[in-house]
Amino acid sequence: MKRTKQERQQKLQETIEETPFITDEELARKFGVSIQTIRLDRMELSIPELRERIKSMAKNNWQETVRALPIDEVIGEIIDLELDQRAISILDIGREHVFSRNKIARGHHLFAQANSLAVAVIDDELALTAKSEIRFKRQVKEGERVVAKATVKGNDDKGRTIVEVNSFVEHERVFTGRFEMYRSNDQKEMHK
């Protein structure tokens, strides 16, 4: 059954409110229309594009929460955060992130997303990476969305906070990392 433009726009608005991180491509498939139609509908409804929705949500929700670094220094956009527990960020791989000849993402971007998320999840004014163990599981290409999920695992025998970060494209793991994080209270202990 084909919807009228008004019905489609109403459903579009409801869908974006329920799932604000849905892409124009996913919306086009869902509604059986072109991406251009979705973009025109969003413009008429004054709904910003995905990147702007994510930035707005991150600034509104976590600007005051992240303590260890300014929110705009996190690589990717934070979409969920519970300090000293877990955090999630999204990084859309664009032309600026890839090698020009093969469109494969440079590894330092995936590492930077994971490392900055490991810092952001720490509930302290100072959080620094002391050590990291990382593994790239597969290459990531231009146009893919990387979702990084950080989980605080506790403290090691040196009192450092262990943060595990797994990054996914859709449901496939593309990167994994284990980060040992210094905190400001670790610095006080080191100087005793």
Cα(102)–Cα(20) distance, integer angstroms: 31
The string of pLDDT tens digits covering residues 101-151 is 999 999 999 999 999 999 999 988 888 999 999 999 999 999 999 999 999
Position 104 scores a pLDDT of 97
The string of pLDDT tens digits covering residues 60-106 is 554 445 655 666 678 888 888 888 999 999 999 999 999 999 999 99
Domain with CATH 1.10.10.10 in the chain: 5-47
Q: Which fold has domain 5-47?
A: Arc Repressor Mutant, subunit A (1.10.10)
Model confidence band, residue 1 (pLDDT cutoffs 50, 70, 90): low
**pTM of this prediction exceeds 0.85:** no
Domain with CATH 3.10.129.10 in the chain: 61-190
Cα(18)–Cα(141) distance, integer angstroms: 28
The string of pLDDT tens digits covering residues 2-23 is 788 899 999 998 888 877 778 8
Strand order of the sheet with strand 127-136? 77-82, 86-92, 145-155, 161-169, 172-183, 127-136
Cα(90)–Cα(69) distance, integer angstroms: 17
Cβ(179)–Cβ(118) under 8 Å? yes
DSSP 135: E
61-190 domain in CATH 3.40.50.720?
Answer: no
> Closest Cα to residue 61, out of 44, 81, 43, 84?
81
DSSP 56-78: HHHHHHHTTT--SS-GGGSSSEE
The string of pLDDT tens digits covering residues 166-187 is 999 998 999 999 999 998 765 4
Position 55 scores a pLDDT of 63
Cα(74)–Cα(113) distance, integer angstroms: 7
